[in-house]
Every structure is written in C-alpha cells, then in structure tokens.
C-alpha cells in the first residue's frame, strides 16, 4: 500500500503522469537537435511558444477555473475567476519588476547577441519554464487521480496531454538555447519544467487530497492562466519581434494556437 492505495494501481497512475510530463523534454530535444536556430526560426519558435501559452490559458485554464467555481456553487463565480486571472498577472508582474535589472532588463536590447539581449533571453526561458511548471503541477495532480479511478480512460488523456506538452518544451528550450548556446541546457530545462507534472501528482495526492476543492482549483487555474498570458505578451512576443522577423513571429503565434487547439480536441 502507498498512501492508502494498492501499489500496482499507484504505479500505473504515476507512470501515466510521468509519461505525460516527460514529453515536455521531447520538445526540448527537438530544439536541441536543430543545428543553428537562425533569426527566422527563433522568431517563429518564440511566437509559437506564445501562441501555445495564450491559447491554453484562455481556452482551457481560465474556462476550467470558471467551471470549477461555478460547480462549487460560489456566488459571482465569473467575478472571482476574473479577479484570480488578473491577480495572477499582478503577481508575476511584481516578481518581474523586483528582479534586479542586470539580470532582468525590461527594455528590449537593440543588438542581438549583446549581454543585455542574452540576459533577457535567459530570463524569458526561465520565466517560461516557471509558468509551464506551475501549469503542469495541477495537470499532473488531475491526471493522477483520473488514472487511479480508471486507467483505461487516463491513457488516451495522457497521450493527448503528452502531445500538447511537446510544444511547451519548445517554448522553454528556444530562449534557453539562444541565451546559453547550450543544447543540453535547453533540453534539460524543458525536461525539468515537465517533471512538475509527476511531482504534482505525488504532492497533490500526499498533501492536498484532504483539503483541495473546487474553489481552490478554480482560483488556481484562473491565476495560472493570468501568469501564462503575462509571460507570453511581456516576454515571448517582444523577444520574437526583436529578431526583426515580424511575420515569422505572427505565423508562429497562429501555428502554436492551432497545434494547441488540435491537442485539446484530442482531450475531448
């Protein structure tokens, strides 16, 4: 028995969650295997990353949060969900502003490859990794509980989650590789952000099961959506446009949204 659950059932549920999370590392590997990301690829990839994060935030996380709050019978659920969304934006904006300027330049550097540009790109990658890790944490918690209830239902869900986790890995790896020049660091950080999914499964099951409810989940989903939207519009898109490949960034943005739309349809 593990945490009151039969060991085989626990192992299957955790394995499904781990599979979904590790697929983020596959996105990092795709970036790492590309020989030299030129400006066009960089702009398209960063735009793609923004599209992934904006779409999943506005079309999955925020609606899920509102549904959870409404299902809990909370009066004014849409108001509270909206407040939580903007609270998430405010939180990440404050964090962004209090980081020392030398490692978090708020103005876009004019010269690609300059120290300020490299510092900005590193910050973009780390903030994207943080946002995606925060998003993956409750996702892993949810996947784990579905798998405990019915593994046959959880497997196709995990496959679909794995598909849409791949572009999330790309979102993390592109700016990290550009900032450090290291393929291994790019793939490693992408993998770390994905490991938040099985970690969320374990922590959620061990600690949160007795306490978590629809209201807490609803607020968390809405706030995470706000965090991801802020990172996209304040970090990813400006950095993509900085390359000078405006159209590539826009096409990447639309492509990221399209891929996420397809992966979410597979979840239905």
Q: Could you list the residues known to form a binding site for Zn(2+), using ranges.
A: 139, 164, 168
Helices (H), 34-76: 39-56, 62-71
* Binding site as annotated, residues: 136, 139, 164-165, 168, 197
Report whether 19 contacts 158 (CB < 8 A): yes
Are residues 164 and 259 in contact, defined by beta-carbon separation less than 8 angstroms? yes
Q: Burial level of 61, CB count in 10 A (0-12/13-18/19+)?
A: buried
Q: Is 40 helix (H, G, I), strand (E, B) or coil?
A: helix
Nearest to 165 by CA among 204, 144, 137, 123: 137
**Rounded (to 5) percent helix, strand, coil in the chain:** 85, 0, 15
Do 12 and 151 meet the contact criterion of CB atoms below 8 Å apart?
Answer: yes
Binding site for Fe(2+), by residue number, is: 136, 139, 165, 168, 197
179 Cβ contact partners less than 8 Å away, ≥ 6 residues apart: 118, 119, 121, 122, 124, 125
Question: What is the length of the chain?
Answer: 268
At residue 258, what are phi and psi to the nearest 5 degrees? -65, -45
The SS3 of residue 25 is helix
What CA–CA distance (Å, rounded) separates 113 from 121? 10
């Amino acid at each position: 028995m593990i945490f009151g659950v039969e060991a085989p059932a626990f192992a299957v549920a955790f394995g499904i969650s781990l599979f979904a999370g590790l697929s983020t590392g596959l996105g990092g590997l795709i970036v790492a295997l590309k020989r030299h990301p030129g400006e066009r690829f960089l702009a398209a990839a960063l735009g793609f990353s923004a599209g992934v994060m904006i779409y999943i935030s506005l079309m999955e996380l925020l609606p899920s949060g509102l549904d959870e709050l409404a299902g809990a019978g909370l009066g004014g659920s849409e108001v509270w969900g909206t407040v939580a969304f903007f609270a998430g934006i405010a939180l990440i904006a404050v964090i962004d502003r209090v980081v020392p300027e030398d490692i978090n330049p708020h103005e876009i550097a004019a010269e690609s490859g300059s120290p300020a540009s490299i510092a900005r790109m590193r910050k973009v990658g780390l903030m994207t990794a943080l946002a995606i890790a925060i998003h993956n944490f409750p996702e892993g918690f949810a996947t784990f509980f579905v798998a405990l209830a019915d593994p046959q239902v959880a497997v196709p869900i995990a496959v679909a989650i794995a598909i849409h986790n791949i572009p999330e890995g790309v979102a993390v790896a592109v700016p990290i590789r550009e900032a450090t020049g290291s393929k291994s660091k790019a793939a490693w950080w992408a993998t770390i952000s994905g490991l938040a999914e099985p970690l969320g499964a374990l922590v959620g099951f061990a600690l949160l099961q007795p306490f978590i409810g629809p209201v807490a989940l609803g607020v968390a989903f809405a706030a995470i959506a706000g965090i991801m939207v802020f990172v996209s519009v304040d970090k990813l898109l400006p950095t993509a446009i900085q390359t000078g490949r405006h159209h590539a960034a826009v096409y990447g943005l639309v492509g990221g949204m399209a891929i996420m739309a397809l992966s979410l349809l597979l979840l239905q």
